[in-house]
Structures are given as C-alpha cells and as structure tokens.
Amino acid sequence: MPRLDESLLTHLPPFSRLEKRQIRRILDQASSRRYDAGVAIFQEGHPAERFFMLLDGYVRVVRITATGEQVTALHIPPGQLIGIARAIGRDTYPATAMTASESLALSWPMHLWDNFVAEYDGFATESYKTLGQRLGEVQNKIVEMATQQVEQRVANALLRLVNQTGRKVENGIEIDFPITRQDLSELTATTLHTVSRLLSGWEKQGLVESRRKRIVVRDPHALVVLSQK
C-alpha cells in the first residue's frame, strides 16, 4: 500500500482527536483495497474478520428480511468506519456493505479494534459517536415507517441523501452516487411501482430530474413541504 500522509485523515473520525504519530501507527497496520461499484465489501452473517475506513465512494448498508427481501437501511459517505461489529458486541457482520459507486477503503484485522479503543481515547470517542448517529438515523426511519405516508417517506429519503452526499449542479442538487428507483424503494420500504409513480409526478412538477441511476433535486424546499404534509 502506498504510504498515506497522516494529514489526509486528521479531520476524519476516528482520527480527528489523535496526534499524527498515533495516526501513523494505525495506518501502518492497515491494508488498502479499491472496490468496483455493486460489490460487497462484507456480507451479513459472515465472520467479522476486519473493520474498514471508507476513504472514497459510497456504501449501501443492506439487510435481508426473513422473507428474503432486500432492505437498504443506510447510505454511508466517505470518511466513516464500517464493519465495526465488535463495537456492538458481535462476531458476525449484522448487515451487508454494498458499494454504491467505485470505492476505496482501508481495513484492519478485527482483533486490533480492542487495541485501538484501549490505546487511543479519541479513537473510541469518535467511533462511538458515529455509531450513535447511525442508530439515530435507523430510529428515525422506524418512526417514519410507522407514522408517515409513502410520499412523505420518499421525500424524506431524497432530502437525507441530498444533505449527506449532494453536490451542486446547474439544475439543482445531485445525489453524488448512482441510485436507482429500486434502491429508493428498498430505502423507503415501498414498491418500485410506487417510487416510479412519485418520481414521474415530481418530474412533471419540476421538483426532481430522474435519469438512469441519477437523481437531481431541483426544488428542495418543495420536497421539505411534501415531507411534512
């Protein structure tokens, strides 16, 4: 692996509270790998042998239901840890991490997790903060499923993705990774037909643009209004 400069990571949790010499020691124990889009970095139920820092790209956290349906729980942007099963007391991965775009990740053997947590106070603090934020996202989704209509859920999902990954383009804000209508249906626990109907209607109203694996939000405020109806 090419030697990474510690300064590239100092602003990222779990490195942000560590000294450069500490980051160097952690990086010297890492492996690096680039992944094509649409592949599993790790799979639900498999032994949790490594944990990962996503440096570039986006990851979909996917669960399989008892009936075999695929559900997207979260999208994770670059600069975050993934696969941290040990942090929640598991020895298998609780979900599958699928790359939503070409991605680059560092990884470490799972047995080093306890060492890093014990030795680097900032590592532990920032890692568990990230874990708490994800649990909060999941709880918000559960509340949405229980209390909101489909139109509200889809609008909220698009707004979250824009806030997490959006980039400014000429005609609005584009979700900065490939996302299909099927992905959006899994993310909102609804059908592909319903998502297609909603997006087509919103396109006619000038709220969004949807083309193959790309969605641009043209009127975020209108989506906010829809999400709160």
- Strand pairing report for 103-109 and 166-169: unpaired
pLDDT of residue 144: 81
Contacts of 145 (CB under 8 A, 6+ apart): 153, 189
As a whole number, mean pLDDT of residues 120-135 equals 86
Q: Of the given ranges (76-85, 115-124, 135-144, 149-158), which has the lowest mean pLDDT?
A: 135-144
Q: Across-strand partners of 51?
A: 108
Q: Please provide the CATH number assigned to the domain covering 148-227.
A: 1.10.10.10
Q: How far is the C-alpha of 154 from the C-alpha of 156, rounded, in Å?
A: 5
The better pLDDT of the pair 225, 145 is held by 225
pLDDT value, residue 1: 54
- Class of 6-134 in CATH: mainly beta
pLDDT one-digit tens code per residue, 44-73: 999 999 999 999 999 999 988 777 777 888
Average pLDDT, the chain: 90
Query: How do residues 130-145 score in pLDDT, each as one tens digit?
Result: 888 888 888 887 788 7
Whether the pTM exceeds 0.85: the reply is: no
Residue boundaries of the structural domains of the chain: 6-134, 148-227
Cβ 14 vs Cβ 123: under 8 Å: yes
The pLDDT of residue 187 is above 80:
yes
| pLDDT for the residue numbered 92 | 96
pLDDT band at 2 (very low <50, low <70, confident <90, very high): low
